[in-house]
Amino acid sequence: MKTTFRTSLCLGVAPFFLFSTPALAQDIDEQEPVSAEEDEEDDVIIVQGTRSNRRVQDEPIRVEVIAGEEIEEKAIMRPGNIAMLVNETAGVRVQVTSPALGAANIRIQGLEGRYTQLLADNLPLYGGQSASLGLLQIPPTDLGQVEVIKGSASALYGASALGGVINLISKRPGDEFEAEVLANATTRNGQDLTAYAAGPISPNAGLSLTAGAHRQSGQDLDGDGWLDMADYDRLTARPRFQWNGSDGSSIYLTLGAMTEERVGGTLPGRTVPYGTPFAQTQDTERFDAGLVAETPVSDLATLNLRASVMRQNHFHRYGAVVEDDRHTSLFGEASIAGENGATSWVGGIAFQQDGFRSGTFPAFDYTYDVPGLFAQIEQEAMLDLTLAASARVDFHNEFGTQFSPRLSALCRPGNWTIRGSFGVGFFAPTPFVDEIEAAGLSRLEPLGELKAETARTASLDVGYADGPWEANVTLFGANIENATRLREIAPDRVELVNIDGRTQVRGTELLLRFKQDGFTVTGSYVFVDASEPDPSGIGRREVPLTPRHTAGLVGMWEEHGRGRIGVEAYYTGGQALEDNPYRKRSRPYLHLGILGEITLGKVSLFVNAENLLDVRQTKYDPLLLPQRTPSGQWTVDAWAPLEGFILNGGIRLRFGGH
């Protein structure tokens, strides 16, 4: 009788957060993907991205965690970047934004990729609005876990987290020296070499170093003279320092450096349909530094400090146009967190500055200064019921004062987990929508009077776990106001405007997992219904490049010290297309893969086959357009893989450790 009462109470509380806004509630019929909740006896996973440092199963805010062995698995599938690591999370989609260079961003639950905040150890080391190539320049070598927060997280992280947060948590040095070297090669003439080393330098301090060298030769797979896979050479390095005091104090320091040369466009001697060559290149240099520190200030409170700085230089070439620019980011935050019985809280101040300077088109220069205040409180209202409220006020120098609240509830009666969440957030527009990232600034009019993009997001999540079985159902929705889009004003000119009307996203995610004796089978399904006002001004249309149906089935056997074998199948349904003369809707496709790794002591040998059916967009239609778009692009949007079947394999060597 007691369990029945708690369940009904939770089911009453969670929908309150989901449907507390009538405009959002009337249309919601979908779900937010669900993460696997760790069983009570399993290893404890502490979530860092929500500021409360709770176990993942105790967090009122829905957080999906990619941990340990799954990161290792994805690292041997794609050692050069984290795209595959996050792309195979239900409700998260990596969308190619520039087929010429392979650039991509992260879309969470159907929302635009620019709304996703990419963090490293809770720091915006890649800027307030990460460049779309940034995702492809981060190796997974030293990651300990990845946290995914879906829906508006502006209450936690401000303007850049309108659609959600991807937080990359690095490994920390242990009490023994450990190191790893991984070498990988692909059948598309790509090579990766990564190394990680960490160890103590004193009883309370440790150092780690991650470094990588990655290259890919350009590939024209359909013989049209245009590179389907860009050529690149990249070097990365990241040292880290960790100190832990006996009184609970800690200091974490990180430095990062990356340089890359990337070449796409036409091959030497080949031309676009206009009869001229069109090389598209980008040289990148990025440097960053970050600090995370905390110290107790009383028996009930802790002072936390976070700070980071980033500078990224770009040298672009778009045919005859050369663009030289610089992105900078400066961040600082001080907060005090405490706990008193059933109540935990945190409050603080923050400042973030994001800047852009163009040596070629200075009319697009901007500097956003955003001081802010934030607070969060969590209350264990009764047994198995936790309520959370957070709010942030940002004083944006261009878009005024913005208030971003978020309410969440967690109820855990027996084997059930029920969460409800509602949040409001905003995004400060910049010139860098997907089309401009792909084609440059040369055809864009100087920005006029734009409004901040705002969103209301909500989710209701119901999970059940019993023994080896776990199941989750999530409903999610979002209403976006003042979304920005490009509008054609001449055959070779575009402008960025706020569209009239509301963009709506409604969705459902389903997950079923069985895990026992080293075997794990996971099935997932995601439905997304995303619509926006039609550019013609009449009616509504589907949001382009947003598949309504996606599904996955993954099976893995793994035994520590021996190896692993895995198979995966991912289905992507049809997508509405824009500015594509060859079709208005994409073909659905199936992606199949198989992975094998054998471990012999400290040596592991691996092989991975991706896209066994050799699905490739250029098998169906050309990638090149008959003529250049008003924004300057020479290719259609990527709606399917461009690289086809790829086989990769290599060796992983481990030293030291347990």
Output the pLDDT for position 46: 83
Cα–Cα distance for residue pair 520/647, rounded to 1 Å? 24
SS3 of 633, please?
A: coil
Beta carbons of 382 and 412 less than 8 angstroms apart:
no
- Nearest partner of 423 among 32, 9, 7, judged by Cα: 32
Output the pLDDT for position 103: 87
Q: Which residues of 359-392 are buried (b: 16+ CB within 10 A; e: fewer)?
A: eebeebebebebebebebebbeeeebbbbbbbbb
Output the pLDDT for position 37: 41
Cα–Cα distance for residue pair 51/331, rounded to 1 Å? 17
Output the pLDDT for position 43: 59
Q: Any idea where the domains of the chain sit in the sequence? A: 2-656
Residue type, 92: V
Output the pLDDT for position 131: 60
Cα–Cα distance for residue pair 428/437, rounded to 1 Å? 16
Question: What does the DSSP assignment read for 84-99?
Answer: HHHHTSTTEEEEEEET
Architecture of domain 2-656: Beta Barrel (2.40)
Per-residue model confidence as pLDDT tens digits over 106-126: 899 999 989 999 999 999 998
pLDDT along the chain (658 residues), means of 10: 41 40 37 40 71 82 86 88 85 90 90 91 83 76 91 86 91 92 97 96 96 96 96 96 95 96 96 94 96 94 96 95 96 94 93 96 96 95 90 96 96 94 94 92 95 96 95 96 95 95 96 95 97 91 96 94 94 95 97 96 96 97 96 96 97 88
pTM: 0.90
Output the pLDDT for position 89: 86
Task: Classify strands 164-170 and 143-150 as parallel, antiparallel or unpaired.
Answer: antiparallel
Output the pLDDT for position 658: 60
Beta carbons of 324 and 360 less than 8 angstroms apart:
yes
SS3 of 439, please?
A: helix
